[in-house]
A and B are shown apart, each in its own frame.
Chain A
Amino acid sequence: MNTVTDALKSPIGKSPVGADTGHPDGHGAKRAPVRNGGRQRIKSAIDRASGYLDILGLAWVAPIARLSTGENPREQLKQIWRLLGVPLAAIVIFLVLWGWIAPTVQTSLGAIPGPAQVWSEARALYADHVAEKAKAAAFYERQEQRNAERLAEDAGASVKIRKYTGKPTYIDQIVTSLITVFTGFVFATLIAVPLGILCGLSPLVNAALNPLIQVFKPVSPLAWLPIVTMVVSAVYAGSDQMFEKSFLNSAITVTLCSLWPTLINTAVGVASIDKDLMNVGRVLQLRWWTKVRKLVLPSALPYIFTGLRLSLGVGWMVLIAAEMLAQNPGLGKFVWDEFQNGSSASLARIMVAVFTIGIIGFLLDRVMLAMQAAVTHSATR
């Protein structure tokens, strides 16, 4: 497919769709006999867009769009089959196999749930979320009422509204996990990128840090966790705390595990900068800071983003494990709680969580890939 290279030619930052006219579709719709020029423009717009669609995992949109413009139907149908039909068929086959094999595996919690049970449990979890929100609303209402009574009795009474004391719902747990992983990831980036640049620019620093990186990189997240927990408990003591300790424990564990890919990739990227560029910098007598900003960062960006993408993936994986082990709020805790509950719905609920974790991981990866493509002009998957 040459669409990718087409996309690459289009300068980033410019709108890829119909850069010179408004909306090409609008054209076609308004003028009954579509002139060749219009059609040409639509075609090139689709070509340009297809690169971006690829990145977003929506590659199958392009052939459908082309089909609607009537361009080479046979070729398009083949493409649609390859990009949309095959994956869908694979998913269907997977679901059928799962539904067929699952009931034959008997555990002490009953049979392994099939797709139907998992789906109904997902809906139950959502219904649960809605019910809990209603409970929360009633809780606040009762508080308002109590406070009103109190004020009626004594106008000077100080009243305040307290946060809902019920359980976090499934949706709340997802949000908690996402916030935690991004916090940890941002910390990791803030540490890893500057360090990586230093390592890449100075062989001395590189030689100094290299052994440390090599030793710490393979350490499992779960080994960090007890140490992090102890340190946070000791250092972060006090009554009025901005963050929950559990949140910090999870976030710091994510940081410790997810900074290595970024660090290493950044160092490699910076070290492999074209020597001519650096020489130009010397001739122009650029200051160190300017050199980093104008030369080093732009040319190392592709590497840095590759590192970031790996880091986020690692961070997400680590977070779930950390939450499970430390019982910190989030999806990991949800899985562990359900495992402990051991009710007949538990396995199906855990599977819902597994799919949720997988889909979120996939989406996070896609987001990073899109960003990477946006800065590096090369959408590699």
Chain B
Amino acid sequence: MLSDCVPFALRQDHKRRPAKAWQAAIGGCVLAVGCLAGTLSAVAKPLAVEKEEIKLGFIKLTDMAPLAIAYEKHFFEDEGLYVTLEPQANWKILLDRVITGELDGAHMLAGQPLGATIGFGTQAHIITAYSMDLNGNGITVSDEVWKMMEPGLPKAADGKPQHPIDAKYLKPVIDKFKADGRAFNMGMVFPVSTHNYELRYWLAAGGINPGFYSPQNISGQIQADAFLSVTPPPQMPATLEAGTISGYCVGEPWNQQAVFKSIGVPVITDYEIWKNNPEKVLGVTAEWAEKYPNTLLAMTKALIRAGQWLDAGGNANRKEAAKILAKSEYVGADVEVIANSMTGTFEYEKGDKRAVPDFNVFYRYFATYPYYSDAVWYLSQMRRWGQIAEGKPDSWYQDVAKKVYRPDIYLKAARLLVDEGKAKEADFPWDSDGYRATTAAFIDGVSYDGHKPNDYLSKLSIGLKGDQRVDGTRIVGANTN
């Protein structure tokens, strides 16, 4: 078991080769911290990592920043890890390659470990001990749609549209599309992506049905007013330009890229849909975590330091971070485009630049701690749209969250960092039960308490509640709670 592995101990198989194990303990690659000598030295020494050469996958998005920083600032090497970062073509390939073991771990959408563990899509037990960031996405519509929307928007004193923009102003556009016999298509990046749920949340809050999933029909377009489909993030602008989709929800830099190329207008950021929502995690398979506990700890340590560096001194390092991310081996977009959101501003319409200081959060507000309540929210949205076909009791949500999210490992890594003097005691929620406080900071003001997912679902406007399920194209069953 992972939880009872002492990080200082060299985990060797004493039963199998007692002599060998002892030799390895002495002549192993790394000496355990003071464990053999019996004294705890304050000097930082790397953990006894079981696997030194690690390959991590990522998708070309700004929020892979902790990985790039941990590499470029040698935080990985400080932990005795030699990491290769490898961009992947899309989320599905990335997940499959983690499951087959071609990748040791990857930058994942928060919904991916949860979806895989409950068996929506590919079935595999994946865990996460590190949450990468908060916020960072936006919803962009094409120029054509914006021109139709813009006249109806309420204006602020300066003549610019009032933010946040509600999806109800998109409804007339969709009705017009319907009248013209055109489907209103939108892109998101993956069926269990944060973007899918944010886009659905925003649409539903404005009275637009984003469609349901059912076990027989996993297109997610049952009863839909707006038809959502999957497009890989880097291809979003090109697909929008080609007219295949009329809008999309994606992470940076692909919203700013649309502004930059003058092909679309971002209408809302996810910060305005749900303030400080969790976005990406570092996922590894449960099996891998069992096999290489110290490696996972070391990786988590390096990433916590990277997050710390990214938010240090009130985003003082963000310019440098943007430069690093602009390299072709990471995100590869232009520095200006990446810096736009990384440095706390966000450009909606061309020239309408507004301050969104928390657009990308990598460390503040305990961003890196894997909260159970974050997991439960994503599970609740899977249930809301029918990806989880049957109603489940609250306890089921808690159990899945505990299976996937591993704050215990996170806190162990944090403790080591604090002992080494590389992090502050106050930076970590040591006594949290894993649930953030109840919040109503959503665009529709519905309050969310992670302990009561079913109660939360019953308060949402469009979506499955209680024991409802999708049968063919109808919703059947009782809305009991």
Give chain A's interface secondary structure class. Answer: loop
A153 within 8 A of B: yes
- Taking a contact as CB atoms under 8 Å apart, the answer to whether A162 and B27 are in contact is no
Given contacts A157-B27, A157-B28, A343-B326, is CB(A162)–CB(B241) below 8 Å?
A: no
Given contacts A165-B83, A165-B84, A340-B234, is CB(A157)–CB(B332) below 8 Å?
A: no
A156 within 8 A of B: yes
A356 within 8 A of B: no
Report the interface size class on chain B.
35 or more
Given contacts A108-B241, A327-B89, A338-B328, is CB(A343)–CB(B29) below 8 Å?
A: no
Q: 0/1 per residue, B311-346, Cβ < 8 Å to A?
A: 000000000000000101101111001000000000
A337 within 8 A of B: yes
A162 / chain B contacts, CB cutoff of 8 Å: 52-53, 82
Residue of A whose beta carbon sits closest to that of B84: A165
Interface residue from A158, A337, A343, A346 paired with B87 (Cβ < 8 Å): A337
- Taking a contact as CB atoms under 8 Å apart, the answer to whether B82 and A153 are in contact is no
A276 to chain B, nearest CB (A): 59
Given contacts A142-B77, A341-B331, is CB(A156)–CB(B27) below 8 Å?
A: yes
Residue of B whose beta carbon sits closest to that of A336: B89
A26 within 8 A of B: no
Q: 0/1 per residue, B17-36, Cβ < 8 Å to A?
A: 00000000011111100000
Interface residue from A109, A142, A158 paired with B261 (Cβ < 8 Å): A109
A158 / chain B contacts, CB cutoff of 8 Å: 27-29
A24 to chain B, nearest CB (A): 52
B84 / chain A contacts, CB cutoff of 8 Å: 165
- A153 and B41 alpha carbons, distance in the complex (Å): 14
Q: 0/1 per residue, A163-198, Cβ < 8 Å to B?
A: 001110000000000000000000000000000000
- Contacts across chains A and B counted by CB atoms under 8 Å: 70
Given contacts A157-B27, A162-B52, A343-B334, is CB(A337)–CB(B261) below 8 Å?
A: no
B247 within 8 A of A: no
- Taking a contact as CB atoms under 8 Å apart, the answer to whether A156 and B26 are in contact is yes
Chain B residues 38 to 83 lying within 8 A of chain A, measured CB to CB, are: 52-53, 60, 71, 74, 77, 80, 82-83
Q: 0/1 per residue, B337-358, Cβ < 8 Å to A?
A: 1000000000000000000000
B80 / chain A contacts, CB cutoff of 8 Å: 146
Residue of B whose beta carbon sits closest to that of A168: B329
A167 / chain B contacts, CB cutoff of 8 Å: 328-329
6 sample A-B contacts, Cβ–Cβ < 8 Å, listed by A number: A109-B261, A154-B26, A158-B28, A162-B53, A327-B89, A337-B328
Chain B residues 77 to 97 lying within 8 A of chain A, measured CB to CB, are: 77, 80, 82-85, 87, 89
- A349 and B261 alpha carbons, distance in the complex (Å): 19
B463 within 8 A of A: no
- A153 and B80 alpha carbons, distance in the complex (Å): 15
Q: 0/1 per residue, A134-171, Cβ < 8 Å to B?
A: 00000000100010001001101111001001110000
A156 / chain B contacts, CB cutoff of 8 Å: 26-27
Interface residue from A150, A327, A346 paired with B30 (Cβ < 8 Å): A150
B460 within 8 A of A: no
A349 / chain B contacts, CB cutoff of 8 Å: 328
Central interface residue in A108, A154, A343, by most chain B CB within 10 Å: A343
B165 within 8 A of A: no
Q: 0/1 per residue, B246-269, Cβ < 8 Å to A?
A: 000000000001000111000000
A332 to chain B, nearest CB (A): 13
Q: 0/1 per residue, A302-327, Cβ < 8 Å to B?
A: 00000000000000000000000001
Interface residue from A142, A150, A154, A343 paired with B333 (Cβ < 8 Å): A343
- Taking a contact as CB atoms under 8 Å apart, the answer to whether A154 and B331 are in contact is no
B480 to chain A, nearest CB (A): 47
B263 / chain A contacts, CB cutoff of 8 Å: 108
B83 / chain A contacts, CB cutoff of 8 Å: 165
Residue of A whose beta carbon sits closest to that of B30: A150
Given contacts A109-B261, A342-B234, is CB(A154)–CB(B87) below 8 Å?
A: no
- Taking a contact as CB atoms under 8 Å apart, the answer to whether A343 and B332 are in contact is yes
A330 to chain B, nearest CB (A): 15
Chain A residues 253 to 300 lying within 8 A of chain B, measured CB to CB, are: none
A344 within 8 A of B: yes
